[in-house]
């Protein structure tokens, strides 16, 4: 299925509010992980403004409650209800508790939370390298746990927030947790972001008969976000100056949330599944990282890789 395009309307500078202009999500329920800061907040705002009831799934519920209070004061009348649920993707017990507490159908799941480039290797309580454990395995456990609720929604959408950072590394199946390789924060981040795309590819194929679509995306280069909380600003500047990473022009958080909201809510991508988007359009394939600041690597859309990752992930989460 081809992806409808409207270049006059959608692009790098499109905002989440513009994406949902005229979209009616009343009667639909959404979960946005990591919605206490950055593009997660703006994703929740846009979905609620269109009428969806949105649960902010966050580690810090106090921060989540502050966001809810602020959004409720800012959203127009007729917006959807906002609630907060505790979810720490590094802690499998909170994932299980969130899944157990969920009742009824789930129409939209935006897997937005993440961690980026801790300078020293960190592991989750169950021994996984943190970026792979949080960015991929935590969301894998959450989404598979909510599968029944998604299937009950009759047309649910899964949105997996990845990154152009996936160009740093494929999933290295023989050493997911850096037990043999020297730890590198950027290849580790890249592996986890590739996994986010592969998960969408696998879910799209496995759950198509349930009416579920799944897509991944690159939100953009957004300065105002908590994602880089583990990094020193000078380290980031030095890394960029070294030429090891090329970045697209910066976006505002409102622009950064636009592609997530497009995949979560826009009728223009209804039925589209297993794809990777950037700047509100399907990304073009690239054959090497080089100086590319966008595009999608073939290994990130490979169905065999996706199926292998699914099986490995099932084994890792038990």
| Residues involved in catalysis | 189
**Quick count: other Cβ atoms within 10 Å of Cβ 219?**
27
Cα 139 to Cα 189, 250, 269, 298: the distances in Å are 15, 26, 23, 22
Interatomic CA distance for residues 266 and 262, integer angstroms: 5
Query: Are the CB atoms for 164 and 294 separated by under 8 Å?
Result: yes
Three-state DSSP string of the chain:
CCCCCCCCCCCCCCCHHHHCCCCCCCCCEEEEECCCCHHHHHHHHHHHHCCCEEEEEECCHHHHHHHHHHHHHHCCCCCCCEEEEECCCCCHHHHHHHHHHCCCCCCEEEECCCCCCCCCCCECCCCCEHHHHHHHHHHHHHHHHCHHHHHCCCCCEEEEECCHHHHHCCCCHHHCCCCCCCCCHHHHHHHHHHHHHHHHHHHHHHCHHHCCEEEEEECCEECCCCCCCCCCHHHHHHHHHCCCCCCCCEECHHHHCHHHHHHHHCHHHCCCCCCEEECCEECCECCCCCCCCCCECHHHCCHHHHHHHHHHHHHHHC
Which residues are 23's β-sheet partners?
A: none
Query: Are the CB atoms for 12 and 249 separated by under 8 Å?
Result: yes
């Amino acid at each position: 299925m081809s992806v409808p395009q409207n270049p006059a309307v959608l692009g790098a500078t499109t905002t989440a509010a513009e994406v949902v202009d005229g979209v009616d999500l009343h009667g639909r329920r959404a979960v946005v992980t990591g919605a206490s800061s950055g593009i997660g907040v703006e994703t929740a705002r846009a979905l609620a403004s269109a009428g969806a009831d949105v649960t902010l799934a966050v580690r810090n519920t106090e921060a989540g409650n502050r966001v809810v209070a602020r959004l409720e004061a800012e959203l127009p009348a007729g917006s959807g209800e906002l609630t907060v649920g505790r979810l720490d993707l590094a802690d499998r017990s909170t994932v299980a508790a969130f899944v157990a507490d969920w009742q009824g159908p789930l129409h939209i799941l935006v897997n937005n939370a993440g961690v980026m480039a801790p300078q020293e290797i960190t592991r989750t309580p169950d021994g996984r390298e943190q970026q792979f454990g949080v960015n991929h395995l935590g969301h894998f456990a959450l989404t598979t746990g909510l599968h029944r609720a998604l299937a009950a929604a009759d047309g649910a959408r899964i949105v997996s927030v990845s990154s152009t950072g996936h160009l740093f590394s494929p999933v290295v199946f023989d050493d997911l947790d850096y037990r043999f390789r020297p730890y590198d924060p950027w290849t580790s981040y890249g592996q986890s972001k590739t996994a986010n795309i592969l998960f969408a590819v696998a879910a799209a194929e496995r759950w198509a008969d349930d009416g579920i679509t799944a897509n991944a995306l690159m939100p953009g280069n957004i300065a105002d976000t908590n994602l880089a909380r583990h990094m020193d600003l000078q380290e980031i500047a030095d890394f960029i100056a070294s030429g090891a990473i090329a970045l697209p022009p910066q976006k505002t958080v409102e622009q950064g949330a636009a592609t997530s909201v497009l995949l979560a809510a826009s009728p223009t991508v209804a039925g589209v599944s297993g794809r990777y988007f950037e700047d509100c359009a399907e990304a073009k394939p690239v054959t090497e990282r080089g100086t590319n600041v966008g595009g999608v690597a073939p290994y990130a859309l490979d169905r065999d890789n996706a199926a292998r990752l699914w099986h490995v992930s099932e084994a890792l989460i038990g």
